[in-house]
Each structure stands twice: as structure tokens, then as C-alpha cells.
Structure 1
């Protein structure tokens, strides 16, 4: 998500606290928030899928390969 969209989310938030939003602005705020949350989840999943741990026996387990492709996460 680009900085302009994040700035718009913040702008709509501050306007909602100060004077309220029009129905069109409420819809825009909901869409932008959903897009932000989806982007956050994708980035977090990408980071989690790149975690590897070193086992006691010296082998390395890639947790993304082991758990990352399961449904329902």
C-alpha cells in the first residue's frame, strides 16, 4: 500500500473525529481500511514464511515450507 493511501486513511480518520464523514467518505474509508489490512496480512505472512529455525541436531527447518501452505491460517 502506498503512502498516499495511508495518508488518506489518516485524513478520513481525523475528519470523522472532527466533523463527521459523508456516506461516500465512509465507503471510501472502509475500502481503504480493508485494503490496508489485507496488505498487512500479506506482508506478515511473507515474513513468517521466511523464518527458519536451527534444530538441536544442527539441521535447519524452514517453517514456511513446513506450515506456510496449510489452509485456515
Structure 2
């Protein structure tokens, strides 16, 4: 299991490696905006571990990590 911390509210939940981040967020009661659900529109972009930006709808929890920090930020244009 991997501990997922959603910022800025510090919501924490356990997740299995490979589980879609969008599903993990929903289970934790965290809202991530979505559009196409295929990674093309980038509405669900989040930053993980203070660097890489990914689309939560197509990206799974990385394996081999004890904790992953997901920084939610919202594009005001969406």
C-alpha cells in the first residue's frame, strides 16, 4: 500500500500501486476536475511529489513508493 497525500488540504488515503489517481481522489472525497477522461484535454492535471505534472485520469499510483504527494491546482480557464 502507498500513502497518498492530497494537497492543499492534506487529505490522506491508502492506495494500491497502479490504482488510478482519479479513483483514489474520488474515494478520498477529493474533487479533481475532468474533461475527456483520456488524458487529451489535461483538465485533470496534478503535480506529484513537487515536480512531475500528470493527468490523474490515466495515471496510476506509482509502485515502489511509500508515499506520494499530489498537489491539486486548478486552471481558472477550465
Give the shorter-chain TM-score range. under 0.3
**Structure 1 length-normalised TM:** 0.22
- Bigger proportion of residues as strand: 2
**Structure 2 length-normalised TM:** 0.21
